[in-house]
Amino acid sequence: MTFHFVLLLSRQGKTRLTKWYSTFTPKEKQRMIREVGSMVLNRSPKLCNFLEYKDYKIIARRYASLYFIMCVDKNDNELLTLEITHHYVKILDRYFGNVCELDLIFNFHKAYYILDELMIAGELQETSEKTVLRLIATQDALQENPGDGGKPGTI
């Protein structure tokens, strides 16, 4: 049960976020983004969300102008992966308050660290929306607090 990468593409094929959990060379990464992107972008929305790609399975879902693409092992649970996507979108939506693509462009770093709270090492880390949002809020507060240097912080 492992994610190999997470990819966010705009409808025009622009990359909005890439997160690699398996190690690939830059060339392989470029090729995979290109190949997977063209497979996903050219698919009609009515078809199923699963695609077979090399030894992997691609789970992709479109949210308005953005495609969320996950690459997992062939024998992974597809629907579960699909719901992880939704879980992520839900959290983004709560965090940004009605999220739009530009939020993710201007705050790409936030998109990354929200993802990091959700999953690491290619595995799901936290499944409670509430817990993730609470952690992110604490981190935000900590960032804005100018005197955060000295004392040991707790969560």
Within residues 52-81, the interface with another protein by CB under 8 A covers 52, 55, 61-66, 77-80
CB of 145 to another protein, least distance (A): 8
Q: Assign residue 22 a region: left if phi > 0, alpha if psi is -120 to 50, beta otherwise?
A: beta
For residue 49, the 8-state DSSP code is S
Strands 15-20 and 56-63: unpaired
Residue placing its CB nearer to another protein in the complex, 35 or 123: 123
Mark 3-22 with x for binding to another protein (rule: CB under 8 A) and - for no binding. Answer: -------x----x-xxxxx-
Q: Label residue 84 exposed, middle or buried (CB < 10 Å: 0-12, 13-18, 19+).
A: buried
CB of 31 to another protein, least distance (A): 13
The DSSP element (H or E) to which 124 belongs, if any, is strand 123-124
83 binds another protein (CB under 8 A): yes
As given in the structure block, the two tokens for residue 103 are 């939020």
34 binds another protein (CB under 8 A): no
108 binds another protein (CB under 8 A): yes
Residue placing its CB nearer to another protein in the complex, 35 or 52: 52
Please give the size of the binding site for another protein, defined by CB under 8 A. Answer: 77
Residue 143 contacts by C-beta under 8 Å, 6 or more apart in sequence? none
